[in-house]
């Protein structure tokens, strides 16, 4: 059934593009997948089965959406580009388990849409080929909203995927790694060549799998301050923790007072931000908050 119906082939994709005279909008980061094997691989990594409901973002012409619908109980997909409506009507019209919401995911009330379309207690996953220019805002919005998702499996820019899954003392590790891992267990599960896209992007891609934690990895007194402090510690990567904090707290603490706070947290101020674990950052933030 899959092979016969697949949208995700170069010939089928070109045929549909030509039929509708569709032109890619660079501003929307549109790159359609033209390889069914990659799509089935993504769904394997995501663990999509017939008892699962799936949220998708950016269906394009429905290549991934179709493969999800063949496996999952139900899929709700968000599309920002109204020009794709007639195409999606043709490519996905036969599937009774697909709902297309023509809204910008960053403006949509995703929680309300989940309540509207999925039964309470339904196992939900997010699977998407995300537009690369808004990957981080989308994922952070969804993580902060603490939606009832068990996992997110997303195709994104390789470099961003590596940053989100990075561990301390590596070049990729930074405030983004900590923000993502606060809410999830992150791993890069697939490298994806440029050749599987139309048009081909300028960057390499990877699939990031995020298992959502039942509660954040660390307990912090003030979440917003914790994230601000982490960002401050990475403001100038080559500088020591002490130097970055002196700058961040310039109107609040003297150097001596800061030194006492670092001592209280048991952290050497000559270290750099990239050497601290998320637990050490939480401890430091809580010392300042208490």
Of 178, 212, 246, the position where a domain reaches its end is 212
The pLDDT assigned to 224 comes to 96
Query: Is residue 104 marked as binding?
Result: yes
Tokens standing for residue 5 = 């119906």
The pLDDT assigned to 3 comes to 37
Do 22 and 112 lie in one domain? The reply is yes
Do 103 and 41 lie in one domain? The reply is yes
- Distance between CA 177 and CA 192 in Å, rounded? 21
Of 158, 189, 212, the position where a domain reaches its end is 212
Residue 269 lies in a domain: yes
Of 180, 212, 244, the position where a domain reaches its end is 212
* Tens-binned pLDDT, residue by residue, of the chain (290 aa): 343 468 999 999 999 989 988 877 777 767 889 999 999 999 999 999 999 999 999 999 999 999 999 999 999 999 999 999 999 999 999 999 999 999 999 999 999 999 999 999 999 999 999 988 899 999 999 999 999 999 999 999 999 999 999 999 999 999 999 999 999 999 999 999 999 998 888 889 999 999 999 999 999 999 999 999 999 999 999 999 999 999 999 999 999 999 999 999 999 999 999 999 999 999 999 999 98
- Residue whose structure tokens are 């999509």: 48
Residue 149 lies in a domain: yes
Do 236 and 179 lie in one domain? The reply is no
Full DSSP string of the chain: -HHHH---SHHHHHHHHHHHT----GGGT--EE--HHHHHHHHHHHT--TT-EEEEE--TTTHHHHHHHHHSSEEEEE---GGGHHHHHHHHTT-TTEEEE-S-TTTS-HHHHHHHHS-TT--EEEEEE--GGGHHHHHHHHHHTT-S-SEEEEEEEHHHHHHHT--TTSTT-SHHHHHHHHHEEEEEEEEE-GGGEESPPSS-EEEEEEEEPSS-SS--S-HHHHHHHHHHHTSSTTS-HHHHHHHHTTTT--HHHHHHHHHHHT--TTS-GGG--HHHHHHHHHHHH-
Answer whether 43's CB lies under 8 Å from 151's CB. Answer: no
Residue 89 lies in a domain: yes
CA dihedral of 195, 197, 203, 206, whole degrees rounded to 10 = -90
| Domain around 265 | 223-289
Do 157 and 60 lie in one domain? The reply is yes
The pLDDT assigned to 160 comes to 97
Answer whether 49's CB lies under 8 Å from 90's CB. Answer: no
Do 150 and 283 lie in one domain? The reply is no
Query: Is residue 53 marked as binding?
Result: no
CATH code of the domain covering residue 91: 3.40.50.150
Do 21 and 98 lie in one domain? The reply is yes
The total number of residues shown for the chain amounts to 290
The pLDDT assigned to 5 comes to 63
Residue 48 lies in a domain: yes
The pLDDT assigned to 31 comes to 85
The pLDDT assigned to 1 comes to 38
Query: Is residue 79 marked as binding?
Result: yes
Do 31 and 54 lie in one domain? The reply is yes
Do 73 and 204 lie in one domain? The reply is yes
Do 253 and 151 lie in one domain? The reply is no
Do 30 and 117 lie in one domain? The reply is yes
- pTM across the whole model: 0.93
- Examine residue 199 and say whether the peptide bond preceding it is cis (omega within 30 degrees of 0): yes
- Residue whose structure tokens are 């339904």: 122
Residue 217 lies in a domain: no
- Distance between CA 131 and CA 3 in Å, rounded? 26
CATH code of the domain covering residue 235: 1.10.8.100
Query: Is residue 269 marked as binding?
Result: no
The pLDDT assigned to 133 comes to 86
Do 111 and 241 lie in one domain? The reply is no
Residue 37 lies in a domain: yes
Query: Is residue 58 marked as binding?
Result: yes
Do 104 and 148 lie in one domain? The reply is yes
Residue 133 lies in a domain: yes
The pLDDT assigned to 127 comes to 98
Q: Is the dihedral of CA 212, 151, 174, 191 positive or negative?
A: positive
Domain count, the chain: 2
Query: Is residue 211 marked as binding?
Result: no
CA dihedral of 61, 11, 126, 98, whole degrees rounded to 10 = 50
Residue 218 lies in a domain: no
């Amino acid at each position: 059934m899959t092979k016969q119906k697949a949208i995700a082939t170069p010939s089928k994709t070109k045929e549909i593009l030509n039929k509708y005279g569709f032109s890619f909008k660079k501003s929307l980061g549109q790159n359609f997948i033209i390889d069914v094997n990659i799509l089935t691989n993504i769904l394997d990594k995501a663990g999509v089965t017939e008892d699962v409901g799936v949220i998708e973002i950016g269906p394009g012409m429905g290549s991934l959406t179709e493969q999800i619908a063949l496996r999952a109980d139900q899929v709700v997909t968000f599309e920002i580009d109204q020009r794709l409506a007639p195409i999606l009507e043709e490519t996905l019209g036969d599937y009774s388990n697909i709902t297309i919401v023509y809204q910008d995911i960053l403006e949509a009330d995703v929680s309300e849409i989940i309540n509207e379309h999925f039964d309470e207690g339904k196992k939900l996953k997010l699977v998407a080929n995300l537009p690369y220019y808004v990957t981080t805002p989308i994922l952070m919005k969804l993580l902060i909203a603490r939606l009832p998702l068990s996992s997110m499996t997303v195709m994104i820019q390789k470099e961003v995927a590596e940053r989100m899954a990075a561990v301390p003392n590596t070049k990729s590790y930074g405030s983004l790694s900590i923000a993502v891992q606060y809410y999830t267990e992150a791993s890069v599960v697939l490298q994806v060549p440029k050749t599987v896209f139309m048009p081909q992007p300028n960057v390499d891609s990877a699939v990031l799998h995020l298992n959502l934690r039942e509660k954040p990895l660390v307990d912090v007194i003030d979440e917003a301050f914790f994230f601000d402090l982490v960002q401050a510690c990475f403001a100038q990567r080559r500088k020591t923790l002490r130097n970055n904090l002196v700058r961040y707290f310039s109107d609040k603490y003297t150097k001596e007072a800061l030194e006492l706070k670092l001592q209280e947290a048991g952290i050497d101020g000559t270290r750099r931000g990239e050497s601290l674990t998320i637990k050490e950052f939480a401890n430091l933030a809580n010392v300042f908050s208490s």
